[in-house]
Structure 1
Amino acid sequence: MKYNSVLFFCLFFVLSMTAQNRSEAIALKDILQTIEKQHLIYFNYIDNEIVELKIIPPKKSLSLNKKISYLEKKTNLFFKNIDNKFITIFSDNRDDTKNICGYVYSKEDNSPLENVNIKFEDGFSTSTNIKGYFELKKEKSTDLLISNIGYTTEKISVSDLQNKNCLKIFIEVEISELNNIIANQLLTSGISKKINGTFEIKPKKLGILPGLIEADVLQTMLQIPGIYSADESISSINVRGGTHDQNLFLWNGIKMYQTGHFFGLISAFNPNLAHTISIIKNGTSAFYGEGVSSVVDISSNTNNFKKNSFSAGINMIDADVYSKFKISKKSFVEISGRKSITDLVKTPTYKEYYNKAFQNTSITNFYNNQNIDYLGDEKFNFYDITAKYSQQIGQKNHFILDFITINDQLKIFQTTNISSQIQSENNILNQKNYGSNLSWMRHWNTKNSSHLNVYTSSYVLNAEKDQIQDNQIVKQKNEVLDNGLKLENSHAINSNFTLKNGYQFNEIATINSDEVNSPIFYRRIKEVLRIHALIVEAKYNDTISKIYFNAGLRLNYIEQFKKKLLEPRLQFNYAITKYFNLEVLGEFKSQNSYQVIDLQNDYFGIEKRRWILANNTTIPIQRSKQASISLFYNKNNWLFTIDNFYKKVTGINSSSQEFQNQLEFVKTNGDYKVLGIEMLVQKKINHFITWLSYTYNTNNYHFPNLEQPVFPNNFKLDHIISWAGIYDRKNLKIALGSKWYSGKPATTPMSSSINYSNFSDPKIDYNTPNNTILDDFFQVNFSTTYKWESLDHIQYKLGFSLLNILNRKNEINEYYRINTVTNSIEDVKTFSLRRTPNLSFRITY
């Protein structure tokens, strides 16, 4: 009996232990994921070979090698360790000695490439996973081909496959694409110069630039030689001496009339959309109208859709979200939104931006800029939203519907007590731009295609000032409604020659209204123009003779004026040698809508410009002609460019040039001429890029009806020098740079005394217009970003920037006014941003 009891106890113990061990066994896949997180390595395996395996996990305290040995014993699988980073798992049945494995990386940034096609000639094929890894059964006699869209096809001989270790394969960007690029990785990765003279920016591939932690569309273009902002505002971008309104801004085919948030300090275009930015300073395609200075064409259209994605980010000014997801096999939706966080927290970045944007306006000069204390309740916010619906119908038709809205709102209530009397103002300023576009693309056959755009754009600038104690309300409003249609047909005659033709129609209406309740005043001016354009363009691109030639002709017809304007365009590029290119560009262009300033304190002096239309008499059509000749040398990671240009713009009105001297209230027509040179020297050494750019130009007005008709342009900067040093390796990016330019022109008074020759209208006696220049501008900027990825493939990115590291007080504008309280001439100066930090964080998956 006792023996039976002992036997029963032992049997029970063994069964219990067996049951306990079985209960501790877990899926091998879960064990591998745990080891990946603990040791920061990756396992490569075929799911079918491990999906049914369950074992007791190894102790966490074991080393990686001991864990692998344990797993080999328990599973009868083979584990191959590669550089202590990747471990390949295979079974005895598969016999890994008869298979090859490898990793495919981009030669440009050493990043792994997913969905690369791997195949033997006339044999088996596979593709890489998200880690760039592949496995394939060996063939005896054929070579291995590695191909991917946008990259060169690599061939590996059979002899190279005898190596038992996994291959490491690096592939380059497709050479056929490079045929259309003469300067790749210009200034930083993601910026290139194309053979047609266009600068192309890919924000998703953009490296880093000094002072930028996000791919701000307009801040990025300011790094290109010949493009600058004389007053440090992206709502006032000057291209080769032109004004901001002389640039044509397009977003997915929609003409945009508002380009900045925070009244000029932040781009109004979300930098996180997967778009391409094309910047054209000269040699514009005939399919672009308007914009006598430049074209900035922003597109978020992509040719393919790989997978759903989502990202969200925040910095010290705004927060944003972005999402792109499939709704069927041939359609997707893309949505983005961005909003300021200023209504929640006033960060140091916001305070510096606020001081810069509103200095010397009626907001900060409350009651004639007197030294009095006042209380203010401010509410400022902005947002932008975009949406896209893309639908592929069959193999030949593609429809895209785009929508964008941009909105800035400022509300400020100010009050003070002067001589026991309360003085109060309530100010409201709204600026918004809505737009939508329907795009249809049709491929009739391999040689013929059509592209149709139908768009509408609406812009409103609305201001209201309520002087409570005087019961006076002042309202100002500027509206633009722009409806357009553009048809483009393309015909490939042969492999070298392409012929395009098309038609464009625009109906533009502007409304300007001013209203005062006491004394009663009301003015409303509405203008409408309808413009038709016929377009023809021929392109010849011969890679053998190394000649690229594109000539276009645009015929504009303006209904209201019954006026025809013929505008030829030219792009020519010749590869003198493999490393040396000659470029010639030329264009004639015209513009019918532009911005003017009636009074410097319009719209509180913040956004004082209003859009108007040409009337072909007192407000002429602006017309430009431009020519340039350039040389490019690119060899051994050295890049030299030199660009000589001539530009003349006629039909400008003095009210569009922001005069704040004796010409402030004068309205006369004239022109300006610019003659200049732009140079760039760049060197790339491994992961380090450094560049130095220099721009020189002469830029003078000619107003024939003035006493002194010729004098310097308000936006003239004689010399501009920029330098940057950029380190970009794997996940870490660092940029340090500086910019220096000679001061803007300014006009000084002849005397410190006020001219009272007319007591009802005292005035300041000035020297000749723009008789002097301001002090030089100098700024040093820094930025850095670091990104990492979790094992579940979620990407994180942290960024930090510091503008104006030296905290230099740069003067960017100066003018004079009469102070009616002190009866003296007051010198008013405007300064650039002081030292301004910014911090950002982004998550993407």
Structure 2
Amino acid sequence: MRLNTGCILSILLFFLIVPKCLGQDEKKSIELKKILIDIAEKHKIKFSYLEEDIFGHSIFPPPGTMPLKAKLVYITNRTGLNFKQSSNNILIFSGRLPQKKIFCAYLTDEIGQPIENAVIQYRNQQKIVTGTDGYFELPQNLPDTLYIDHLGYQPLKVVTDYNEADCQKIVLILDILMLDEIVTERYLAKGISKLKDGGFSIQPKKFGILPGLIEPDVLLAMQQLPGIGSIDETVSNINVRGGTHDQNLFLWNGIRLFQTGHFFGLISALNPNLGHSIKIYKNGTPALYGDSVSSVVNISSRSNEIGETSASVGSNMISADAYTNIKLSENTGVELSARRSFTDVLDFPTYNKYSQRIFQNTVVTQLNNSTDVNYKSDKEFYFYDFTGQFHQKFKGGNTLYFNIIGINNNLDFTEGTITETNVVTKLSSLDQQTLGGNIAWNKNWDDNKSIGLSLYGSRYNVDATNASIESNQVTRQHNEIFDAGLNFTFSSPLTRTIKLNSSYQFNTTSINNRDETNLVTASTEISENIDIHALSGEMEYHTDGNNLYTRLGMRFNYITQFDMFYAEPRLQANYLINGNWQIEVLAEQKSQSLSQVVELQNDFLGIEKRRWTLANNNDIPVQKSRQASIGATYKNRGWLITIDNFYKKVNGITTGGQAFQDQHEGLQATGSYTVYGTEFLIQKQFQDFYAWLGYTWNNNRYNFKDFPTSSFPSNFQIAHTINSAVVYEWKKLELALGSRWFSGRPYTAPLSNFPVYGNNGSPAVSYSQPNAFHIGSFMQFNFSANYTLQIAEKYNLQLGLSILNIFNRQNIINRYYRINPETENIERVNTYALERTPNALIKFSF
């Protein structure tokens, strides 16, 4: 692997810059006045005192991580000075007054962060809780023993020591066993956790900050996880362990999403205000989920409780949004969100950069390169999305949900020219939209037994009209999906350590593809339908000490149209070796009957050129995958190290689904790909700083037995990927600087610079071995900052700033060759990544 300067800088960012920022407090005796000035600045308070009272006092400064009240006790014990606090003003005066002896302490976790709302139990079950700084104090004459408890930490028994001169520092140890699901809290950022069932959880409401992000965009955030990326930096082309985007299953409240991006992939189609929990599975997927051979992204905005009424309005440099949660009663709630771009009215720099990136090398921009005709073109683009949820709780643990979601992208493109006789204009357009809804009922019993039933349906369609001035041809294309079904789930504990989960699912999917043109009387239209019945069952088992957790499942599928029956086993096991080490084994078999194909590179204006199609058990088979992985996690004193080794094979892929732009373009063949590799993450937290470095290596190869060269690198192979970040969090301020480097994707080069001519006299490119060359490596530095200002109780103003590609590096993310229709020469076409792109956010929450 050749490491360029950018890659070296990325590594230095993690290993050299961070430690220099994290110096320890100096331990030397200094004047009390200087100490008070530092304390006042850090805690935003004001001291009042007489100079003669503090003159002559020189002490070692208290540790910077101490809460304010503990620092005051620390100073009192060394100087004899007394303090009286009123709001943010603290009066200092001399003369030791008779004091009641107190026991004071403050709680932190293993990396020094204060622990809020920990329960301190003393004398006859009396309780107090710690404040935001982790501080607490108790009156005199108490028992010798206190009991401290907090969810997620090991309970602690403390013996009170009234002879201790200062407030005690008590460290609580994170208990990975006390939580049913979480193995690792704060994986890359606040709000991201690694789960014991092999998946990852993202909670947008608790989300911290990642480089380049100013909002909790789940589809952009998940690309920071090892093994997940995007070969063209979009959310509509997410590649998980070498797979294509259509091999991922995206669910929103049980509704399958076929459209995941705005701006044709540069922005997530999911409103960042939503999402109470998001789960991502790369392997070891629960048997409940089917119809995907790669990952599962399950987004749920359903909360178990009726939240308090709240709202927010905000805007960035692309769109404005609004969100509200309305508590109608103790058992009834409504949640609404809406977002719309203003790119059809205002052109901020962010829109201009996005526009340059997404429309390059398409019919929308290539007209500007014409030298023969005086073409003029103009485009108008906008998007919107909305969601709605009604939540009703009934007696007996019954809950009812209604959900609706809508997503839309719209592009109108006008081109015109002036001829000798008149003005000629043509209007082209692209409309991409999703509309879905469901109704769900759940019932929970006190003994952890639950049952659920949901009915859902969604419609996705993309329509394009391409009107050409040169040929006077008008082409209309249409791709529509209707997906509907029902889910029935049942979960019940069999014993104290064994739980059984089962489900029945029915799904029907219809697809309509239509193409027509004004110069040809005939049009093509294909309609397809598939019905799938699925029955799943799995057993969860954990030992009494919770050192072992395992889930063994099986999913049975039956496709009515093909009379095809097959089973898919699933396995997940997590074993805790000691308090710091865990090992994990995951395995699965999965399948999918729905996929995206590219028939022609200029379909749908060349922007959304993929169309959905169904398996026909012939030239488009049902795709099937096998995957296994083994990994380990180490966590201790702010360090987190994870490593995963995986093997994955997918059969039944088609050439159309792999978006070839070489000698294989237009061919119809089926084959497979095999990918194996390693994913590694190291993360360290130093009080207000934390940093991480992730590395992924994989080998991804095709096997098409009908091709002259049957085995060659995949179009989606990224052999090496390095992500790194340094994050600083202080009170309401968050700063993140990170880098992303990966080796270039493969491409096929021509054998010579001159075309070859076939029997019909048409020029063509003669290609060399497929994917034998690689584009130069990708390197990008990103920055983001967030600051939250509390205006009043429950009134917050959030300000954010992000800069993508800080150094404005010109990264090539795709390369192919084509014949220039005017000169008949071979020309190389490069697609470039985003240039330096700023964005800003303002959001008011109340």
Q: Normalization by structure 2: what TM-score?
A: 0.84
Q: Is the 8 A contact 1:648 1:674 kept in 2?
A: yes
Q: 1:365-764 to 2 correspondence within 5 Å? A: 365-366=366-367, 370=371, 373-417=374-418, 424-467=425-468, 472-542=473-543, 544=545, 546-764=547-765
Name 2:356's counterpart in structure 1. 355
Query: Quick one: percent identity of the two aligned structures?
Result: 44
Q: Is the 8 A contact 2:226 2:696 kept in 1?
A: yes
Q: CA shift at 1:112, angstroms? A: 8.8
Q: CA shift at 1:799, angstroms? A: 1.0
Cα pair distance change 1:146/1:340, threshold 3 Å: farther
- The one-letter code of the counterpart of 1:596 is V
- The one-letter code of the counterpart of 1:393 is F
Q: CA shift at 1:82, angstroms? A: 6.3
- The one-letter code of the counterpart of 2:706 is N
- Give yes or no for the alignment of 1:81 onto 2:96: no
Q: Is the 8 A contact 1:590 1:622 kept in 2?
A: yes
Q: Is the 8 A contact 2:368 2:376 kept in 1?
A: no
List gaps (5 residues or longer) in structure 2: 1-42, 47-82, 92-98
Query: 1:604 aligns to what SS in structure 2?
Result: helix
- The one-letter code of the counterpart of 1:479 is E
- The one-letter code of the counterpart of 2:396 is Q
Query: 1:790 aligns to what SS in structure 2?
Result: strand
Cα pair distance change 1:195/1:258, threshold 3 Å: same
- Counterparts of 2:374 and 2:781, CA distance in 1: 35
Q: 1:136-535 to 2 correspondence within 5 Å? A: 177-178=178-179, 180-366=181-367, 370=371, 373-417=374-418, 424-467=425-468, 472-535=473-536
List gaps (5 residues or longer) in structure 1: 1-38, 43-78, 88-95
Q: 1:49-64 to 2 correspondence within 5 Å? A: none
Q: Is the 8 A contact 1:179 1:543 kept in 2?
A: no
Cα pair distance change 1:305/1:237, threshold 3 Å: same
Q: Is the 8 A contact 2:177 2:546 kept in 1?
A: no
Q: Is the 8 A contact 2:784 2:801 kept in 1?
A: yes
Name 2:837's counterpart in structure 1. 836
Query: 1:349 aligns to what SS in structure 2?
Result: helix
Q: Is the 8 A contact 1:424 1:467 kept in 2?
A: no
- Counterparts of 2:512 and 2:730, CA distance in 1: 52
Q: Is the 8 A contact 1:794 1:844 kept in 2?
A: yes
Alpha-carbon RMSD: 3.2
Q: CA shift at 1:501, angstroms? A: 1.4
Cα pair distance change 1:722/1:371, threshold 3 Å: farther
Q: 1:22-61 to 2 correspondence within 5 Å? A: none
Query: 1:795 aligns to what SS in structure 2?
Result: strand
Query: 2:656 aligns to what SS in structure 1?
Result: helix
Q: Is the 8 A contact 2:820 2:827 kept in 1?
A: yes
Q: Is the 8 A contact 1:126 1:136 kept in 2?
A: no
Q: CA shift at 1:558, angstroms? A: 0.3
Q: Is the 8 A contact 2:109 2:173 kept in 1?
A: yes
Structure with larger Rg: 1
Query: 2:353 aligns to what SS in structure 1?
Result: helix
- Counterparts of 2:112 and 2:843, CA distance in 1: 21
Q: Is the 8 A contact 1:124 1:137 kept in 2?
A: no
The CA deviation string for residues 22-61 of structure 1, in whole angstroms up to 9 with x for no partner, is xxxxxxxxxxxxxxxxx9889xxxxxxxxxxxxxxxxxxx
Cα pair distance change 1:260/1:212, threshold 3 Å: same
Name 2:38's counterpart in structure 1. none
- The one-letter code of the counterpart of 1:188 is A
- Counterparts of 1:811 and 1:136, CA distance in 2: 63
- The one-letter code of the counterpart of 1:201 is I
Cα pair distance change 1:417/1:202, threshold 3 Å: same
Cα pair distance change 1:386/1:154, threshold 3 Å: farther
Q: CA shift at 1:431, angstroms? A: 0.6
Cα pair distance change 1:347/1:252, threshold 3 Å: same
Cα pair distance change 1:335/1:536, threshold 3 Å: same
- Counterparts of 2:106 and 2:499, CA distance in 1: 40
- Counterparts of 2:515 and 2:811, CA distance in 1: 35
Query: 1:363 aligns to what SS in structure 2?
Result: helix
- The one-letter code of the counterpart of 1:509 is S
Q: Is the 8 A contact 2:368 2:375 kept in 1?
A: no
Q: Is the 8 A contact 1:108 1:172 kept in 2?
A: no
Cα pair distance change 1:85/1:378, threshold 3 Å: farther
Q: Is the 8 A contact 2:409 2:431 kept in 1?
A: yes
- The one-letter code of the counterpart of 1:238 is N
Cα pair distance change 1:543/1:809, threshold 3 Å: farther
Q: Is the 8 A contact 2:310 2:325 kept in 1?
A: yes
Q: CA shift at 1:144, angstroms? A: 7.2
Name 1:768's counterpart in structure 2. 769
Name 1:782's counterpart in structure 2. 783
Q: Normalization by structure 1: what TM-score?
A: 0.84
Q: Is the 8 A contact 2:103 2:162 kept in 1?
A: no
- Count how many residue pairs are aligned between Structure 1 and Structure 2: 761
